[in-house]
Amino acid sequence: MRIAMIGTGYVGLVSGTCLADFGHHVTCVDKDQAKIEGLLAGKMPIWEPGLEGLVKANVERGRLAFTTDLTKALEGVEAVFIAVGTPSRRGDGHADLSFVFAAVEELAGLLKDPIVVVTKSTVPVGTGDKIAALLDKRDPQRNAATGVEANATPSLGTATGAAAQLSQSEIDALRARLMALWNPPVGMQDASQTQVTIRIRFRKDGTLAVGPQVITSGSGAQFNAMRDSAVRAVFVGQPYTMLRPEHYEQWKEIDFTFDTKQMFHDLPAR
């Protein structure tokens, strides 16, 4: 089997090397040019007993390769493993899934045929459904991830205004990013009617042009906690590289509604 492994850390490099040693043909991909150059020169970025010898042997046998080019790595593969880092977020310790979603966004734009996508990264329950949605909705006609018709029902909040003209995949990726970063205050699961809308103004590189503007009126400790947690998620989520530059006039200003009823329906248990 030909396999692409996205990520060359402790999970990706070790898994890819072992799969190659079992007889599969594996290409490990990483955006870190220095790390890939080191691996091509036989220098290990991590320490794992026996790893250096296994890498060398399988490279020599032609079963293990390294590249920074995901397009090249996908040529003829039957399965793709996502093995990027999910470090703990500051403040709450939950897994930061932004690297996972970024890898999925890039992968979705390159897939042309159905393929097996395996999540090897450490992720919370429910992440697979988000990954499948991102892959599937990138091109509803292809249905690369699930083989079923894409569900256009919003799964996290609501983006309005010019954002309604964006592709479904861009809207879904924005929702997924904010969901991964949103740290709901204690007790908010019971506030099924609480909503707060944040106006986000972007630069073309996906960073914030100004601070998020709260345009929903409200008062009380519960509303204030919801408002503050939503604003933090917007700040931390930048840059929003899933929003394509050619659509900048459409997404340069987005009103995004954080809806607790929708959001808690899809959030993994905490």
Looking at residue 261, its pLDDT comes to 62
11 with 132, same domain? yes
| Residue 148 resides in a domain | no
Burial of 118 from C-beta contacts in 10 A (0-12 / 13-18 / 19+): middle
Q: What is the pTM of this model?
A: 0.56
Looking at residue 78, its pLDDT comes to 92
Looking at 138, 171, 190, which one is the last position of a domain?
A: 138
134 with 38, same domain? yes
Looking at residue 4, its pLDDT comes to 96
| Residue 50 resides in a domain | yes
CATH number, domain containing residue 247: 3.30.1150.10
Strands 79-82 and 195-201, sheet pairing: unpaired
Domain that holds residue 211: 158-266
Asked if residue 142 lies in contact with residue 184, where contact means CB atoms within 8 angstroms, the answer is no
Q: How far apart are CA 68 and CA 88, in angstroms?
A: 25
Looking at residue 216, its pLDDT comes to 82
Looking at residue 69, its pLDDT comes to 93
CATH number, domain containing residue 111: 3.40.50.720
32 with 134, same domain? yes
Asked if residue 223 lies in contact with residue 123, where contact means CB atoms within 8 angstroms, the answer is no
Looking at 138, 172, 188, which one is the last position of a domain?
A: 138
Looking at residue 174, its pLDDT comes to 79
Looking at residue 150, its pLDDT comes to 35
6 with 133, same domain? yes
**Number of domains into which the chain is organized:** 2
pLDDT digits (tens, 9 = 90+) for 169-222: 677 777 777 776 776 665 555 555 577 888 899 998 889 999 889 888 777 777
| Residue 146 resides in a domain | no
Looking at residue 186, its pLDDT comes to 58
124 with 194, same domain? no
Looking at residue 149, its pLDDT comes to 38
181 with 257, same domain? yes
CA dist 140 → 50, 79, 106, 144 (Å): 44, 20, 16, 8
Per-residue tens of pLDDT for the chain, all 270 residues = 999 999 999 999 999 999 999 999 999 999 889 999 999 999 999 999 999 999 999 999 999 999 999 999 999 999 999 999 888 766 566 777 888 888 888 888 888 778 899 999 888 877 887 787 777 654 444 443 334 333 333 333 444 555 555 666 677 777 777 776 776 665 555 555 577 888 899 998 889 999 889 888 777 777 888 888 888 889 888 888 778 787 788 788 888 888 766 554 443 332
| Sequence-distant (≥ 6) Cβ neighbours of residue 207 within 8 angstroms | 238, 239, 240
| Residue 143 resides in a domain | no
Give the three-class secondary structure for 227: helix
169 with 250, same domain? yes
130 with 175, same domain? no
